[in-house]
Amino acid sequence: MSPDTTKDMNDGSPMSTRITEQLTQAGRTIEHASFAIIDREAGPHGYSADQWPLVRRLIHASADFEFNGLTRFHPAAVQAGIAALRAGRPIVADVEMIRVGVSRPRLAHFGGDIHQFINDEDVIRQARAEDSTRAVQAMRKARRLGLIDGGIVGIGNAPTALLEVLRQMSEEGARPSLIIGMPVGFVSAAESKADLAQIQDIPWILTQGRKGGSTLVVAAIHALLALAEAQDAG
């Protein structure tokens, strides 16, 4: 038996020990077959060898090949994300769906954790008092708790959360390690991502236009975790 396999206790079949892989041979087979189909059908692209696995996971999560083209990367984004994950830096999400969707064992493998505050009573109370959004106040709470600076910010639902992080960067000197900006929708979604694309000194990954969503942020994080584990193994 090779050193990167063990036995699945349920059926005795070989099982990869990589924490970022599916837990069963059947699951891995399906996922790898899906990736092969995407590679075959996606056609030509201009993504680098470390960017394509992330784009491929976005397509896998959505069955939408338009993300081959809609996905954009700051030049330092992938390596910045890998470094932050390997260092156990926190992830701040705009909504609970991202926090629930990210594999906790995969994240815990690197000593990291993921946070969201949009449902906290103090966040709701402050949003009502200031007539702002919960997403804005959640990002402000994350900043007060010291989670934005050096952390990964993942936004898949609320454009106002992304706009608030951009404000913190320009007005307060906030320095996330990476911003995954993929809010979906019709009001300020495309515009907030266009603003993010202008940032040069903080790495980012985004989906252009109205398309996005929490599922895509989860897929992006899982892709970065897989790349981080592969880098450790290499």
Q: What is the CATH classification number for the domain harbouring 224?
A: 3.40.50.10230
User: Is residue 141 domain-resident?
Assistant: yes
pLDDT at residue 29 in the model: 85
Residue 17 counted as domain residue? no
Q: Is the pLDDT of residue 2 over 90?
A: no
What is the arithmetic mean of pLDDT over 31-45?
Answer: 90
Asked if the model's pLDDT at residue 42 lies above 50, the reply is yes
204 found inside a domain:
yes
State the chain's mean pLDDT as an integer.
90
**Edge-to-edge strand order for the sheet containing 71-73?**
71-73, 204-207, 178-181, 152-155, 91-93, 114-115
Q: In whole angstroms, what separates CA 142 from the centre of its chain?
A: 17
Task: Give the range among 11-15, 85-89, 160-164 with minimum mean pLDDT.
Answer: 11-15
Helix, strand, coil percent values for the chain (each to nearest 5): 50, 10, 40
Does the pLDDT at position 218 exceed 70? yes
Q: Which residues are catalytic?
A: 60
Q: Which amino acid is at 180?
A: I
Amino acid in the structure at residue 185: G
How far is the C-alpha of 50 from the C-alpha of 53, rounded, in Å? 6
The pLDDT assigned to 13 comes to: 36
Task: Find the mean pLDDT for residues 158-177.
Answer: 98
Q: Does the structure show a pLDDT above 80 at 24? A: no
52-92 per-position pLDDT tens digit: 999 999 999 999 999 999 999 999 999 999 999 999 999 99
Please indicate, yes or no, if residue 187 is contained in any of the structural domains.
Answer: yes
Residue 162 domain-assigned (yes or no): yes
SS3 81: helix
> Helices 134-144 and 121-130 sit at what angle, rounded to 10 degrees?
120
* Tally of structural domains, the chain: 1
The range of the structural domain enclosing residue 148 comes to 71-233
Rounded Cα–Cα distance for residues 230 and 217 (Å): 20
Q: Is residue 16 predicted with pLDDT exceeding 70?
A: no
Separation CA 160–CA 127 (nearest Å): 12
Residue 32 in domain? no
Q: Is residue 14 part of a domain?
A: no
What is the mean predicted confidence (pLDDT) over 97-123? 95
Residue 14 has pLDDT above 60, yes or no: no
**Which pLDDT score, from 0 to 100, does residue 1 have?**
26
> What's the confidence (pLDDT) of residue 17?
62
Give the pLDDT confidence score for residue 234 in this predicted structure. Answer: 61
pLDDT tens by residue, 191-200: 999 999 999 9
Burial (CB count <10 Å: 0-12, 13-18, 19+), residue 206: buried
Q: Name the residue type at position 22.
A: Q
Q: What confidence tier does 227 reach under pLDDT thresholds 50, 70, 90? A: very high
What average pLDDT does range 160-181 have in this prediction? 98
* Residue 93 placed within a domain: yes
The model's confidence at residue 206, banded by pLDDT at 50, 70 and 90, is very high
Alpha-helical runs (H) found in 42-175: 52-62, 67-70, 77-86, 96-101, 104-108, 121-130, 134-144, 159-172
Q: What is the per-residue burial (b if ≥16 Cβ within 10 Å, else e) of 159-193?
A: bbbbbbbbebbeeeebebbbbbbbbbeeebbbebb
Contact 92, 153 (CB under 8 A): yes
